[in-house]
Homo-oligomer: A and B are copies of this chain.
């Protein structure tokens, strides 16, 4: 929470206009409490920027070590030879005020407090310590992220709190009051092709809070879509204004923790936030034009759908794939979500019939022809249906049984997905791929995995179930009347 009576640090010369932009251009970074134990985050904070190729010096700070991860260690931030802008604190809570004093002396302007054990404990002394830390930071002109958080993932600048995050930058911005949820969004989304501009795990939001961060992402030209995991608000009224303004500029997807009593109690032990009434969030999201989701997987589903360029214009869907029973359940899933699965006209069915070679298959919609996927007939089918104007979107689902029987066999990922990629282009409508993968200990998991990777590389939105794909279309459609393009 920023107290406006204390001036925020000025922007570094030559950097962009936003007052928080300086955070992303440190000349050097230091990890205080760095360690050699590969299981500890005190090591991960060193390995992350090192492995991602951070351009400036990385200083592990640990009075007991000479070297950590092949880098010279220093006893304190004051002992660091050159300039220092960015510090990560991985030391116990009691040491943080003194650390901030030293940071102030050193000219450090941004500190990320991984350090936990403050107001989230419910302990009065620790809550008071947290407030004291805010006081010291303001005296020293330092902006804080956290405490009790994983910090910043900014792939373009080679900053990351997990070495295994993707190195390529993208256009998804994310704020998360939970480190795990941030990590899982990047990891789950990364596997499905999502790439990120900036991700903030911001924990207790002592200084920089959800409003500051969403406001920043709303103006960041590299961020086209915003995701947020929020437990409670530091400045309720301001946030809903910020949200409305952000959602006017670009799509915002909100995952609110604490929608139930049990979740609300869990929040008080996690970040010490007040969850707020759930109905307020429903209303606020709807009024702002933000999309509300209820889990990390759904957050990824929606961000991926948006980022893949899907802009649905209606709820009539074509379902193609196999086999018959999977098609029945796919139609049920779509219809139950409020999507329509219209029977194709006689003219369309007549054109499709020659493409379906097996007896016992239907061309009415769903087209229950797994064999279509073994060759390029899927392109012809999609072109016929797309040209008819009878549907607004395509769902192609591949059953795991068909990947056993030849789909994608003996090909590269790119080859395996080529017919689907070409079909998506020919269809001229939102195109969703459903590749169910629960059977990967049986069957032919390599073929399926190859298809998933090929589709991801081709920029197609890929889902593990029809109900999740249908839900993504339905939710994005609800909001499609707005102008989603960033300014």
Contacts and interface: CB of A to CB of B under 8 A. Distances in A.
Contact of A340 (B262, B295, B440): B262
A359 interface: yes
A465 to B, nearest CB: 7
A112 to B, nearest CB: 15
Interface core residue of A41, A118, A443 (most chain B CB under 10 Å): A443
Given A262-B331, A325-B229, A270 B368 contact: yes
A181 B325 contact: yes
Interface string A357-370: 01110101010101
A10 B203 CA distance: 72
Interface string A396-407: 000111001110
Given A148-B360, A162-B404, A187-B401, A438 B335 contact: no
A117 interface: yes
Contacts of A183: 399-401
Contacts of A322: 180
A92 interface: yes
Nearest to A441: B191
A325 B331 CA distance: 34
A249 interface: no
A325 B188 contact: no
A401 B332 contact: no
A359 B117 contact: yes
Contacts of A116: 358-360
Interface core residue of A178, A261, A324, A405 (most chain B CB under 10 Å): A324
B404 A261 contact: no
A259 B178 contact: no
B323 A178 contact: yes
Given A325-B176, A359-B92, A343 B265 contact: yes
A67 interface: no
A205 to B, nearest CB: 13
A324 B178 CA distance: 7
Contacts of A330: 266
A259 to B, nearest CB: 5
23 contacts: A39-B405, A117-B359, A120-B324, A164-B443, A179-B401, A181-B329, A183-B400, A184-B436, A187-B439, A188-B436, A191-B442, A231-B325, A260-B336, A262-B332, A263-B331, A266-B331, A270-B327, A270-B328, A270-B360, A294-B332, A294-B336, A296-B329, A438-B464
Interface of A: 39, 41, 44, 92-93, 115-118, 120-121, 148, 162, 164-166, 176-184, 186-188, 190-192, 229, 231, 255, 257-263, 265-267, 269-271, 294-297, 300, 322-336, 340-341, 343, 358-360, 362, 364, 366, 368, 370, 374, 399-401, 404-406, 436, 438-444, 453, 464-465, 467
10 interchain residue pairs of minimum CB distance: A178-B325, A116-B360, A117-B359, A269-B362, A187-B439, A260-B335, A263-B332, A191-B441, A180-B323, A262-B341
